[in-house]
Amino acid sequence: METVIQIQDVTKTFVGKDNRVEALKGISLEIHKGEIYGIIGMSGAGKSTLVRCLNFLERPTSGTVLIEGKDLSAMSDGELRRTRTQISMIFQHFNLLMQRTVIDNVCFPLEITKVPRKQALERARELLSIVGLSEKEQAYPAQLSGGQKQRVAIARALATNPKMLLCDEATSALDPTTTRAILALLKEINEKYGITVVIITHEMTVVQEICSHVAIIDEGELAETGTVTEVFQRPKSKAARKLVFQGEDAQPHMEMKGKRCIRIVFTSNSSFEPVIANMVLACKAPVNILLADTRDIGGVAHGQMILQLPEDNQTAENMIQYLKTRKLEVEELDHYVG
């Protein structure tokens, strides 16, 4: 598969009067043509700095960013400007020009590249039709809902026919229903036009909704990469485990007896079987369900459950073996409770 974005050992250090912050520490990633790639991390992890390094809105302190094999640091200012027309961005707070109508907002990047007005208007109307806002072309941003503003921002980002679309927390300011609608629109654009989409977010649900691959950033370092399914089913790093098991707003569990806990992952083949009830009956002992969750990943239902097992080791082992015979992913968790 063709690599369109290659990040090699990228660092970014911000130096202030009284402090020095290492925002990125040796990040290396490859993003392939046509992917919807998620970059996720807690607040302050460095993910927004990373996305701004992808088009050199922030110049890395060291390391290399290659776009379609071309080193951004080796480009002249003119070459960099031309390259940026192929790497559009949408933002959390839309960044629309409030004194301009919807159609003039969409035309704005075409004006900058000196596209004739008539041609720009034709392109803008085509894009407003794609995002479902044809009837709003003469409205002003203040007259639009948050979801409509983001649709205008998406239309504007597509105006120059980019090959890549960078979305920096593009749904964080939206309610859940509107978020799903915007994600569905991004997925449709990806599938219909083959645009590579990079989504920066702190929400695992956003990644699971539409991304095929994910990178997890933790305190400026790359904690883990893989397909979304792989990371969801078998998270390896501490940062990935926290995001998958509990999410960003996780609160610690209260002290409990019986600290042996396991995580089981259901696939579409097993999600409808009463496997836990059958296990309890077979092993003649109860379990405590600490977490139960079913999510849609790439159109396939996946579920996870975290169980607190009985204190008796033999009973706990019997339960683990029972689950494994049912072909479930079973993972023991250290220090999940207590």
Residue 338 located in a structural domain: no
Please indicate, yes or no, whether residues 92 and 136 belong to a single structural domain of this protein.
yes
How many structural domains comprise the chain? 2
Please indicate, yes or no, whether residues 287 and 232 belong to a single structural domain of this protein.
no
d(CA 305, CA 102): 46
pTM of the model: 0.76
Please indicate, yes or no, whether residues 51 and 94 belong to a single structural domain of this protein.
yes
Residue 246 located in a structural domain: no
Bridge partners of 262?
307, 332
Q: What is the pLDDT of residue 85?
A: 87
Q: Tell me how far the alpha carbon of residue 250 is from its chain's centroid.
A: 18
Please indicate, yes or no, whether residues 103 and 196 belong to a single structural domain of this protein.
yes
Please indicate, yes or no, whether residues 228 and 317 belong to a single structural domain of this protein.
no
Residue 206 located in a structural domain: yes
Please indicate, yes or no, whether residues 322 and 177 belong to a single structural domain of this protein.
no
Residue 252 located in a structural domain: no
Residue 277 located in a structural domain: yes
pLDDT surpassing 50 at residue 256: no
157 and 89 Cβ atoms separated by less than 8 Å: yes
Residue 45 located in a structural domain: yes
- Give the mean model confidence (pLDDT) for residues 6-30: 91
- Give the mean model confidence (pLDDT) for residues 318-332: 87
**E strand or H helix at 157, and its extent?**
helix 146-157
Please indicate, yes or no, whether residues 205 and 315 belong to a single structural domain of this protein.
no
- Give the mean model confidence (pLDDT) for residues 143-171: 92
Please indicate, yes or no, whether residues 230 and 320 belong to a single structural domain of this protein.
no
| Domain that includes residue 27, residue range | 3-239
Q: Which of 239, 269, 299 is the last residue of a domain?
A: 239
Of 142, 141, 169, whose CA–CA distance to 156 is shortest? Answer: 141
